[in-house]
A and B are shown apart, each in its own frame.
Chain A
Amino acid sequence: MADFDLMELISAPIIAMNEAESDNAARFVELLNEFAFRKNEDTGESVLEKLKFSFDRVDPDGQTRTQNVEIPLIHFLPIGGIAIDQATLNYALKLDPQGDTDPNGKLRLKGRLADSSEKETGLSGNVNIEIKLKQIDLPQGVLSMLETTQSATVQTEKEKAPQEPLPIIPDDFVSAQLLELAPRYIEAGQDNMTTILFEFDDAVLTNQSHIDFELSSWPKSALEFEDKNTFSMTRRGKQQIQFLASPIIDEYSSKTDIKLRILARVRAADGDIKEQQISIFLPRSKDAETPALNLSKDK
């Protein structure tokens, strides 16, 4: 059996443990790259690998909504879990009884591991060795370097893709449907309000915009709006409008058309305001035809 220098016998297990730690650190990086990131083949950048899934959730209001979830895969990986924190080595050595000298005349001790089964008897080993090992603190220089490089970790926001151009608001951004007119004609001195029910349906309304409506009549003083003569809408829906026919319409010729005018205004994202007028000819007798909407701009 070959003999080893005593210092080799002491350092060999220490080297082995440190190499194991070093391999463990390298394997950690390897696993991290293998599972936590993927390579973008176009840019060569590492991209965080994510687990993506969706599930349906029922809201308290009874509506089912689909939730999309993305979780970085690194959260699921138990990587880098093993490390040597401390260790105790206990073994017996059998050193050659007499020492040797190196070329400089200095003492050298050589020997081999002793048979542990004979350790208790003392016949085999003549040196018992106990080594306590521990993870040492990082040197101050390394700590300073880590601190420096930590501040060098930069998170930058990736340049956002140019936003899609804002939708162009068409001239006829409002469409409406007349649902009800009660009573079906107007006459001066009516005791009850005339009620008109519209259903607005438009494609322009979004969360960012709303449409303001302003009511008026033609001739100007033909109709009296009891409350305010404006309203706003942010989504399609029904709107009821109430007014009284002014007594003044008795003075109008029977051929004079009386119109309810609704001026719709929407502010585009670029700040421009667009207008569209809806008008409805109000019948003045019960024999008149059912009124129709005119959505085009009044002249």
Chain B
Amino acid sequence: MVKQTNSEMARFSLSDLDLYLCTGLYTIANADLTLKSWQYQICPIEINLQMALVIYPSRTGDLFEFASEEHPATTHVHYHYQREPHQLTRLEILNME
């Protein structure tokens, strides 16, 4: 493994992002909030996340940052989450420019 610079270490891979979103959205979708279950009646059935990212090619795999004024987006990732009856959360990347 090639040693990354400090800034590279702060960047994230797509799989890191997937894991983070999947875990977090699962928590939200399954009422693991501060609410009691009977209070959780309004439930997300669909979540769309459009992320403006800057891609940094790396020998160990592409790394990403969120776009900023200094570093405009080079790619957009669209995560589509949909709750289906009696089914766990589903997370997918719709497109990647």
- By a beta-carbon cutoff of 8 Å, the part of chain A in contact with chain B is 6-7, 10-11, 14-15, 17-19, 21-22, 84, 87, 95-100, 106-109, 111, 122-123, 125-136, 142
Contact = CB atoms under 8 A, between A and B. Distances in A.
Contacts, number: 119
Given A99-B11, A107-B12, A122-B73, 13 more contacts: A10-B24, A10-B47, A18-B42, A22-B38, A97-B54, A98-B66, A122-B52, A128-B50, A129-B50, A131-B48, A132-B47, A134-B42, A142-B38
Contacts of A128: 48-50
By Cβ-Cβ distance, the 7 closest A-B pairs, closest first, are A98-B10, A7-B24, A132-B46, A22-B39, A107-B16, A130-B48, A136-B43
Contacts of B35: 15, 18-19, 22
Q: Is the interface of B mostly helix, strand, loop or mixed?
A: mixed
Contacts of B50: 127-129
Interface residues of B, number: 39
B28 to A, nearest CB: 5
A40 B91 CA distance: 57
Choose among A21, A126, A136, A142 the residue with the greatest number of B CB atoms under 10 Å from its CB: A126
Interface of B: 7, 10-12, 16-17, 19-20, 24-25, 27-28, 33-35, 38-54, 65-69, 71, 73
